[in-house]
Chains A and B, each alone.
Chain A
Amino acid sequence: QVQLVQSGAEVKKPGASVKVSCKASGYTFTSYAMHWVRQAPGQRLEWMGWINAGNGNTKYSQKFQGRVTITRDTSASTAYMELSSLRSEDTAVYYCARESPPHCSGGSCYSGAADYWGQGTLVTVSS
């Protein structure tokens, strides 16, 4: 069965960096892209970025451009999300989520929904 297991909770000081891992199992890691989504307390889900686990290509939300780096280690079937220059507003639960297979209609195929999610990693930024 597909599983995404994330690293544990972190407490960081403002200005520091955090790196969250997401270990995948139960499927061929390089065949699916991975999204990173965060959720601040009581807030909506917020998309941060995406990595093609096969070729390593990435896309980031402009909001986090320059502060977020998403990487992967194919030998370990693990994706990583690093966020730098942390501030209190970055306190949130961070999720990795596997991109679902594409669906096709009218000759075009699209993907971007997330069918499996990690358990979430709470990152607290506090002085």
Chain B
Amino acid sequence: EIVMTQSPATLSVSPGERATLSCRASQSVSSNLAWYQQKPGQAPRLLIYGASTRATGIPARFSGSGSGTEFTLTISSLQSEDFAVYYCQQYNNWPLAFGQGTKVEIK
């Protein structure tokens, strides 16, 4: 079973600044990794799949990179609506698995 570990747990960022979130897999997941955004009381929203492909309607300020075991989600210039919890998810192997999340909060 693959374990997904995200860091940091909390990231304090000022609006307009760049945010860099990390996700590590306990074994290679190739490029079969997705990123989601979740706001309080809402369902997750798909941001990135295939490690680097933005989902439909996702702004260009969101970008994903990495392969194998190390992945990064970058938000180039944080907007007020981007403060949320972000999860990575691997779908290379059953069972699918999510990281524990990174909370992006206003500094």
Footprint of B on A, CB under 8 Å? 35, 37, 44-47, 50, 59, 61-63, 95, 97, 100, 103, 105, 110-115, 117-120
Contacts and interface: CB of A to CB of B under 8 A. Distances in A.
B55 A45 contact: no
B11 to A, nearest CB: 16
B94 A59 contact: yes
Given A63-B95, A100-B55, A115-B55, 18 more contacts: A44-B98, A44-B99, A44-B101, A45-B38, A45-B44, A47-B98, A62-B95, A100-B49, A103-B50, A105-B31, A110-B30, A110-B32, A112-B92, A112-B96, A113-B50, A113-B89, A115-B46, A115-B56
A108 B85 CA distance: 31
Contact of A118 (B34, B43, B53): B43
Interface of B: 1, 30-32, 34, 36, 38, 43-46, 49-50, 53, 55-56, 87, 89, 91-92, 94-101
A37 B92 CA distance: 17
A118 B30 CA distance: 28
